[in-house]
Structure 1
Amino acid sequence: MILCIDMDAFFASVEQASNPNLRGKPIAIIGAKERTVVTTASYEARKYGVKTGMTKYEAMKMCPHITFIVGNNPKYTYISKQIHNFLLTITYDVEMYSVDEAFLDISQVKMPPEDIASLIKNYIKKNFGITCSIGVGKNKLIAKMASGVNKPDGYLFVPPEKSTSFIDQFQLYDIWGIGRRLSKKFANMGIFTPKDLRKLGLTNLVKMFGKNGYKLFAMAHGDYIGNINVEEEPVKSIGHSMTLPHDIYSEKEALPYLLQLCEMVSARARKNRVSGKTISIYLRDIHMNTFGKRHTLPFLTCATHHIFEVAKLLLKEYDLSIGIRLLGVSLSNLVHNSVHLTTIMESNKKEKIYKAIDEINSRYGDFTISYAAILKCKRKGSLTISPAWKPSGIRNINVK
């Protein structure tokens, strides 16, 4: 039996709990800079149509009296870690799916599901003044869907024998794991519900989607192929991106931000003892078109200077005069438990420099010591919590 915890408007609820003057009022959490979007809206704001991803100006049109709060990411990740630690006192079979969501396998817990849910809800409410919604079902899919039925502060248990009838209540575009793009493809075929999907049949689904067809057919019955991921799955790439504080039109303006991103990627790789061969950069222009290029080295590296040299060459292939609003760098083709900072042609002095940088930044904070060119950047560090964020391991990224 699987239990899913989904925090209710997590970031907004934390701010309302911290500031009584915000309670009961429409608020939206945004980034620290002007070029930002809504990351979470309170339930009071959602009644006016304010949604995640809206710009400030779009949100104000929907709700003129909305209050914008600059997000406090360290506070949100701290609370998430505390909740994770509490969940581990119930069972070790815990998967932190994101900063505000978790799955527990409670099959071996000698308590009724409703008592476990009550225990979790009481802990979160007492310690943080916020609420969560909980769903319980025979697998992750049913538990996840059940957690969203009675929001906020909801609870729903779906008996195993009612899983198919429960999943039949939803349209395909509302089902976790299917999404709007795939559901649109099905809609063009006249398939809108799990029942329609079952009628299509396993053979046709496998012909259309290969191995994924088995998963889709199982989901249409309320079944799910996949267990709780207690151990963090190995990452395939390490990347960072940044929405620039203003549009950039030249290589001279772009290079300090590119260097900063390369150092962020390198520092995270060094910390987690990971090296890679493939360096990629990606850009988004002022027209919201996204481009990407990559290059594979003949050697492994996790060194900033190697990553930056390749990234600079890739950047030269773009016409920056059209205007760039987002820049990203990633390292892939990874080998774990491997730290490569120099080639056989380079002095090992660089290794000592990296070690000194990491020791100082670990003690005093990111970018306490770094490259002089990065001082030109008006924006530094990770400012958003990744959907893949975890409370520990390589996906545990320090955010400001």
Structure 2
Amino acid sequence: MSRKIIHVDMDAFFASVEQVDNPSLKGKPVIVGGRTSKGVVCTCSYEARKYGVRSAMPGFIAAKKCPNGIFLPVRHSRYKEVSNQVFDILYSITDIVEPLSIDEAYLDVSDIDTPSIEIAQYIKNEVFKKTGLTISVGISHNKYLAKLASDWNKPDGIKIISEEMVPEILRPLSIKTVYGIGKKTIDKLNNIGVYTVNDLLNLPKDYFVELFSNQSWELYNRLLGIDNRPVQPNRETKSLGRETTLSSNTDDIDYLNHFLLLFSKDISYTLKKQNILSKTITIKIKTSDFSSHTKSKTIHHYTDSDDEIYSIACNLLKEINIHDNIRLIGLSVSNLSDKKIEQLTFLR
């Protein structure tokens, strides 16, 4: 039996929350984050995107591109509150929900008799009714195609990609839409005249394997619309982390520390929400040559403090001896423990 997978993605989530909370901002170029000279944009409204503003862009560049932009501080607790309302709606439909981030998730509705399109419309209606926000929904028989579909008609879109439409619907798409192909590889492919999925599929197989190495088989299947990954709702939480690919490579420590601050606050909020503590903090970076570097520290006590996580993360970043610009930065915590268990242990 064919699976029924739904991917949901809130539209310009942080900025949209700000516009709902303050209706005078509706229709205006709202930019969340990036308020200081070293700050970066977390997200922005579609009005700001028309000027070329994008998430992870340095704030001073966003200000140049969009001089009339309205810069606002990041309010993590408020965004998490709204996110919880959205996820309550998703869990009211099925327990098979795989959260990807604060504003994005997969649902497997294969065992629900209601047509997928009706479920999707219900989600959109309920989200708007309870939060005032719009959400884009993609429907297909696997995760890759469902996520692709949710991006198809953003914002406030809905799209079905059926088995009969594949792979023809994929062939004209830009290779930029294919998850797993980095910018350097895209530039390399463009230089030899490869711009679309169809162009990529027509490459000699030996060259394709040489180009993508270990991920070549998985990527080739993806180009054909094949993805057998299940929606995984009950994965044991062994770590919590956040990462981002930067809009441009950098060696600016203050710029990188800004991301660590945002990640620390978000991770701390999640730890407290789930009533767990962490003992190991890890930072991860990728340089412009795509090499990865990680550094960890295990402390003597458990914590959920954003200040402590941030302080340790900044020190770890200083300790990594990097001689190249950084293109990705991430922060995670592991060695987790239930807070109640730790409190009982302490009282013994």
Where does residue 121 of structure 1 map in the other structure?
A: 124
Per the TM alignment, residue 57 of structure 1 is displaced from its structure 2 partner at its CA by 2.6
From 267, 280, 301, the equivalent of 1:303 is: 301
Q: Secondary structure at the match of 1:164?
A: coil
Given that residues 142 and 167 in structure 1 are in contact (C-alpha distance below 8 angstroms), is that contact kept between their aligned partners in structure 2?
A: no
Q: Secondary structure at the match of 1:178?
A: coil
Where does residue 197 of structure 2 map in the other structure?
A: 194
Alpha-carbon deviations, 1:216-270, whole Å to 9, x = none? 11011112242212123654686899xxxx988xxxxx9xx99xx8xx99x969x
Given that residues 143 and 227 in structure 2 are in contact (C-alpha distance below 8 angstroms), is that contact kept between their aligned partners in structure 1?
A: yes
Per the TM alignment, residue 56 of structure 1 is displaced from its structure 2 partner at its CA by 2.9
Where does residue 325 of structure 2 map in the other structure?
A: none
Determine what percentage of the aligned residue pairs are the same residue.
Answer: 34
Alignment of 1:19-168 (within 5 A): 19-30=22-33, 35-168=38-171
Counterpart Cα distance in 1 of 2:243 and 2:37: 20
Greater radius of gyration (CA): 1
Alpha-carbon deviations, 1:259-290, whole Å to 9, x = none? xx8xx99x969x646666xx766899xxxxx9
Q: Secondary structure at the match of 1:92?
A: coil
Over aligned residues, Cα RMSD in angstroms? 4.5
Given that residues 283 and 296 in structure 2 are in contact (C-alpha distance below 8 angstroms), is that contact kept between their aligned partners in structure 1?
A: no
Where does residue 324 of structure 2 map in the other structure?
A: none
Per the TM alignment, residue 175 of structure 1 is displaced from its structure 2 partner at its CA by 2.2
Counterpart Cα distance in 1 of 2:128 and 2:313: 47
Counterpart Cα distance in 1 of 2:317 and 2:77: 32
Alpha-carbon deviations, 1:77-113, whole Å to 9, x = none? 1111221121111111111111111111121121112
Where does residue 380 of structure 1 map in the other structure?
A: none
Counterpart Cα distance in 1 of 2:314 and 2:156: 50
Alignment of 1:199-238 (within 5 A): 199-200=202-203, 204-232=207-235, 234-235=237-238
Alpha-carbon deviations, 1:58-83, whole Å to 9, x = none? 22222222211212111111111221
Counterpart Cα distance in 2 of 1:134 and 1:92: 18
Alpha-carbon deviations, 1:168-191, whole Å to 9, x = none? 231111223434344334334543
Alpha-carbon deviations, 1:368-395, whole Å to 9, x = none? xxxxxxxxxxxxxxxxxxxxxxxxxxxx
Alpha-carbon deviations, 1:115-162, whole Å to 9, x = none? 111100111111111101111112111111111121111111112110
Alignment of 1:180 with 2:178, yes or no, is no
From 4, 12, 17, the equivalent of 2:15 is: 12
> For the structure 1 residues 19 and 231, does the alpha-carbon distance in structure 2 shift closer, same or farther, using more than 3 Å as the test?
same
Counterpart Cα distance in 2 of 1:65 and 1:24: 12
Per the TM alignment, residue 26 of structure 1 is displaced from its structure 2 partner at its CA by 1.4
Alignment of 1:244-393 (within 5 A): 272=276, 294=295, 303=301, 355=346
> For the structure 1 residues 215 and 316, does the alpha-carbon distance in structure 2 shift closer, same or farther, using more than 3 Å as the test?
closer
Given that residues 277 and 302 in structure 2 are in contact (C-alpha distance below 8 angstroms), is that contact kept between their aligned partners in structure 1?
A: no
> For the structure 1 residues 158 and 173, does the alpha-carbon distance in structure 2 shift closer, same or farther, using more than 3 Å as the test?
same
TM-score by length of 2: 0.71
Per the TM alignment, residue 28 of structure 1 is displaced from its structure 2 partner at its CA by 0.9
Gaps of 5+ in 1: 249-253, 285-289, 320-326, 340-350, 357-400
Given that residues 275 and 338 in structure 1 are in contact (C-alpha distance below 8 angstroms), is that contact kept between their aligned partners in structure 2?
A: no
> For the structure 1 residues 205 and 41, does the alpha-carbon distance in structure 2 shift closer, same or farther, using more than 3 Å as the test?
same
Per the TM alignment, residue 48 of structure 1 is displaced from its structure 2 partner at its CA by 2.1
Count how many residue pairs are aligned between Structure 1 and Structure 2.
308
TM-score by length of 1: 0.63
Query: Which has the larger displacement, 43-52 or 31-40?
Result: 31-40
Gaps of 5+ in 2: 245-251, 304-308, 322-328
Per the TM alignment, residue 199 of structure 1 is displaced from its structure 2 partner at its CA by 2.3
Q: Secondary structure at the match of 1:151?
A: coil
Task: In structure 1, give the amino acid aligned to 2:11.
Answer: D
Task: In structure 2, give the amino acid aligned to 1:51.
Answer: R
Query: Which has the larger displacement, 11-20 or 169-178?
Result: 169-178
Task: In structure 2, give the amino acid aligned to 1:28.
Answer: I
> For the structure 1 residues 11 and 159, does the alpha-carbon distance in structure 2 shift closer, same or farther, using more than 3 Å as the test?
same
